[in-house]
Amino acid sequence: MAPCRDRARPAVGLLLGCAVWLSWLAVGALINQVSHAEQRPLSPSPSRSQAASALLHHGAMPKDDGQLPSAARYLLQARQAKRGPTAAANTPDSKGTDFWLAFPGNLSMAALALLVTSDQDTTGTVALPGLGFTRPFMVDASKVTTVVLPPAAALNRSDTTENKGIHITAEHEVSVYGLSRLPFTTDAYLALPTDILDTEYIVLGYRNSDVVNGTQFAIVATADATTVTITPAATTGNRLAGVPYTITLDQGQTYFLRNTGPAPNDLSGTVLTSDRPIAVFGGHQCANIPPGFAACDYIVEQLPPVPTWGKTFVTMPLATRLHGDTFRFLASADGTAVSVNGTVVARLDRGEFHEKLITGPAQITADRPILVAQYSNGTQFDGVTSDPFMMLIPPVEQFLDNYTVAALASGSPINFINVVAPSAAVGTILLDGAAIPEDSFVPIGGSGFAGAQVSVGAGSHTLTGALPFGVVVYSFAFVNSYGYPGGMLFAPLVIVTAVALTPEVATNPAGTEHCVVATVTDQGGNPVAGVRVDFTVTGANPTTGLASTDAHGQAEFCYSGTTPGVDTIVAAVGAIADSATKTWVEAILRFGDGPTTLTVDTSRGTFTFAYVAGGTLQLCSGGRARIESGLLTISSRCLEDLGDLLRAVGPTDGTVTVQLLDRTGPSAADRTIRRFLLRPQ
C-alpha cells in the first residue's frame, strides 16, 4: 500500500486504501445492575457470533458496590495515520489477551473480583485450575464486567507453593483490575498481561508497625519448570535476610511469603530473578501508614519488571487529604540520586528505598530507573474520610493516550481520578467525551506538566487525549479505600542508552512534509524495539508527536512545515534525547521522476526551485517571469500561453529563482499565475 501522504487527497472524506486510526469516546451511558453471580446465555449477533454459545458471568459485587454501566453510545472520530509505527501498535502496555494473576491474602477472608474492560466487544475466560474454577465472560466496548472469584483463591500460607494462579484469556485485548474487598480493608491493583512480564523484580510493599504485621509478596509462574531465586530483604521464618534461596514452580503455581515479625520488618527491597517470566505482587496484609496512625488497611499492587521502570514522574496529591501523602522511591541500581521538585532527597543503592511525605504537586526524577509508589495515609493522620492504600505511579515515559477505568462504590464512596498531562494538552483531555476544564488543572512546578483531581461517580470512565498523559484512580470510604494506576506502557526503558536522530540537518520547501528517524539502542549498540519515542518540534512550526520503535529500533516521525524558518526537532526516550535542525524555505521544489505541481497562494513573489542540469520549468498559466540560475541569468520574457517553456541551461545542479508579477490590463484577474508544473528534461 502506498503511503497516504503520497496520494492526492480529496477535499472531503478519507483516502481509500489508507490506514485510518479510529478512536471512540463514550458520550452517554445507561446504568444497569446485574444480580450477584448471574449466568445467562448470549443472543447471537453479527458482531458476536463466536460468543453466541458462551455464558456471561456478571459477577456483580455485593449491594454496596454500586452499579456499573452496561450500555453506551459512541462518538466515532477518525484521523489519518502517519507512515511508520505507532506507540500503541508496537509498545507493550497494560492491555493484553493473556494474564496470570494472584491475590496475596487480606486481613481475613475477602471478597475477590476481577474487573475486565476493553476498547472493543470481546469474550474470554477466567480459570483457576487448582480450584477447578472456570467462568466465561463478555465485555462490551468501554464497559466493565465484574468476575467474582472464590475467596479460597487468596494466598495466606507463607513460604508455601500452591496451585492458586488465576489465568485470564480473551479474544481481544482487555484491561484487568484485581480487587480484594472487606468492609474496612480494601485495595485494587492494575493487572499486567503475560507478554510484558520478565525475569527481574524488586519487591515494594510496606513495613510492619506492630499493629498487624504482614508485609508480603506473591509470585505466579507462567511456564513449567520455572526457577526463581529470592533474596529476602528481611529474615522471614527460616529465610535469612540477604541470603538467596531458590524455588521451582510450574505454570499456574504460586509462591507466597509473609513476614509477621516486629516493626520495622519490611520485605520491600527483596530481589527476585527467574529463568522464565513470572508475575509478582507486593503489599501488606494490613498496613498502618505512616506507622502510629490508625487505621490499618490491606495494600497490594502487581509489580512491573525492573526493565520497565522510569526516571521521570509527575504526581498530584490525593484529593480531600489535608497533610499530604506518603511516597516511596525504590532504586534499581547502586548510586541512584532521587530528586523531588529539583532537590536531591536521597542517594540509594539497588534495592534500597526512601520514604517521604509530599504535600503538593510534585516532579520526581532520578538519574537511574526507580519505582515510585504513592500511599494514602490512615484516616487518623488528618481526620478525613480515608484509609491506607498503595498506588504505583506510572513514569512519564510510559504514559498512554487513552484509558477505560472503573470507579467502584464501597460504603459511602468518594471516587476520584487524578490526571497529569503535558501543559500543552490542558483543556484537550476528554473524560467520558467531555473536556476536563482547563481551570481544573494546576502546574506541577517547572515540569511542563499540569495535574487535576477529578471527582467521578461509580462505574466505568473513558479518558482520551491527543498526547500521552497519566491516570490514577482511587476511592475513600469510612476507614476504607483503594487506589490503582489506570494503565501504562511497559517499554524496556532500563536498557535504553542512546537515541540518534537522522537526518541531523535538512532543508525543505515550506508546505511539504519532512520525516526524521530516531534509532534507539542499548549499551552494546543493539536496537531496542517497542519503546515509545516522544518528538517535540520548536521554532517556526511547533508541534509534538510520538512513535514506537520497530524491530530495528527505529521510530519515524513526519510533519509538515507551513511557515518558512528554522525548527529544532528533539527525539526523547525519557531523559535520553537527540536533536536535529530543519530549515523551511519558501516554495522550494526539487525535480523528481515525474511532474511536480506547486500551488501558489499569491501571484506575486519570488520562489526558488532546486533543479538538475538542463531542467525545464513549465508554467501552467500566463504571466511575467524572470528566471535566474546560480551560473547565468535568463532574460525576462512574457509567457502568454499555457505550456510555454523556459529551460535552465546551467551545466551543473543548482537553483532557479522565479519572480512572479501580475499582468497589467483589464484581464489581470484571469492571467494571475497560480500554479507551476515542473517536469524533468
pLDDT over 80 at 680, yes or no? no
**Domain's final residue, options 492, 508, 529:** 492
Candidates 406, 394, 206, 180; CA nearest to 293 is 206
Residue 507 and residue 653 share a domain: no
For residue 413, the model assigns a pLDDT of 67
At 449, list the grid cell. 506538566
Q: What is the tally of structural domains in the chain? A: 3
Instruction: Indicate whether 542 belongs to any domain.
Output: yes
Rounded to 10 degrees, the C-alpha dihedral 266/271/274/278 comes to 50
In a domain, 27, yes or no: no
Asked if the model's pLDDT at residue 651 lies above 70, the reply is no
Contact 676, 639 (CB under 8 A): no
**Any domain includes 363:** yes
pLDDT of residue 427: 93
3-state helix, strand, coil in the chain (%, to 5): 5, 55, 40
Question: Both 330 and 468 in a single domain?
Answer: yes
pLDDT for 15 equals: 31
The boundaries of the domain holding residue 564 are 496-585
In this prediction, residues 551-561 reach a mean pLDDT of 93
Question: Minimal CA–CA distance to 387: which of 325, 329, 330?
Answer: 325
Q: Which whole-number Å values give the CA distances from 248 to 218, 221, 278, 281, in the listed order?
A: 14, 9, 12, 18
pLDDT at 142 over 50: yes
- Whether residues 347 and 485 share a domain: the answer is yes
pLDDT over 60 (residue 304): yes
Q: pLDDT band for 562, please (50, 70, 90 cuts).
A: confident
- Decide if 535 is inside a domain: yes
CA distance 655 to 589: 10
Number of Cβ within a 10 Å radius of residue 649:
13
The predicted structure's pLDDT at residue 681: 33
Does the structure show a pLDDT above 70 at 494? yes
Question: Which of the listed residues 585, 620, 647 is the one where a domain comes to its end?
Answer: 585
- Same-domain check for residues 471 and 341: yes
Place 328 in a pLDDT band, splitting at 50, 70 and 90. very high
* DSSP codes of every residue in 111-154: EEEEEEE-SS-EEEEEEEGGGTEEEEEEE-TT-EEEEEE-GGGE
Contact 354, 345 (CB under 8 A): yes
pLDDT band with cut points at 50, 70 and 90 for residue 93: very high
Q: Are residues 469 and 556 in the same domain?
A: no
Residues 461, 323 within the same domain: yes
Is 92 among the domain residues?
no
Residues 409, 319 share a domain:
yes
Q: What's the whole-number mean pLDDT along residues 539-559? A: 92
Q: Check: CB of residue 287 under 8 Å from CB of residue 297.
A: yes
Out of 562, 585, 608, a domain closes at 585
Please tell me the least confidently modeled range out of 186-195, 220-229, 426-435, 500-509: 500-509
Does residue 183 form part of some domain?
A: no
Proportion of the chain above pLDDT 90, given as a percent: 59
Pair 505, 437 in one domain: no
User: What mean pLDDT do residues 622-650 have?
Assistant: 37
For the segment 435-451, the average pLDDT, to the nearest whole number, is: 96
Give the CATH number, domain containing residue 633.
Answer: 2.60.120
Buried/exposed 24-62: b ≥16 CB within 10 Å, e otherwise: bbbeebeeeebeeeeeeebeeeeebeebeebebbbbbbe
Whole-number mean pLDDT of the chain? Answer: 78
- As given in the structure block, the three cell numbers for residue 545 are 508527536
Regarding whether 666 and 523 lie in a shared domain, the answer is: no
Between 681 and 284, whose confidence is greater? 284
DSSP 8-state code for residue 244: -
327 and 458 inside one domain: yes
What are the tens digits of pLDDT across the range 196-230? 999 999 999 999 998 899 999 999 999 999 999 99
Model confidence at 430: pLDDT above 80 = yes
Q: Is residue 75 part of a domain?
A: no
Residues 312 and 387 in one domain: yes
CATH of the domain at 569: 2.60.40.10
Please give the average per-residue pLDDT across 490-506, as a whole number.
Answer: 90
Rounded Cα–Cα distance for residues 56 and 209 (Å): 43
Instruction: Please count the residues of the chain.
Output: 681
Beta-bridged to residue 217, according to DSSP, are 257, 282
Mean pLDDT to the nearest integer, 544-570: 92
Peptide bond into 264 cis (omega under 30): yes
Q: Check the CA dihedral 541-7-674-632 and report its sign.
A: positive
Q: Is the pLDDT of residue 608 over 60?
A: no
Average pLDDT over residues 412-431: 90
Of 96 and 678, the structure prediction assigns the larger pLDDT to 96
The residue to which cell 492458586 is assigned: 164
% of the chain surpassing 70 pLDDT: 72
Residue 16, pLDDT above cutoff 60: no
**In this model, does residue 407 exceed pLDDT 90?**
no
- Yes or no: say if 317 and 325 are a contact pair by the CB < 8 Å rule: yes
- Tell me the pLDDT tens digit for each residue of 44-55: 333 332 332 222
Q: Is the pLDDT of residue 22 over 60?
A: no
Mean pLDDT of 389-404: 94
Name the residue among 165, 280, 164 with its Cα closest to residue 216: 280
Average pLDDT over residues 176-192: 92
Q: Residue 395: which pLDDT band, with cuts at 50, 70 and 90? A: very high
Q: Among 102-116, 261-275, 489-503, 611-625, name the one with the lowest average pLDDT.
A: 611-625
Residue 22 lies in a domain: no
pLDDT band at 90 (very low <50, low <70, confident <90, very high): low
Same domain, 426 and 351: yes
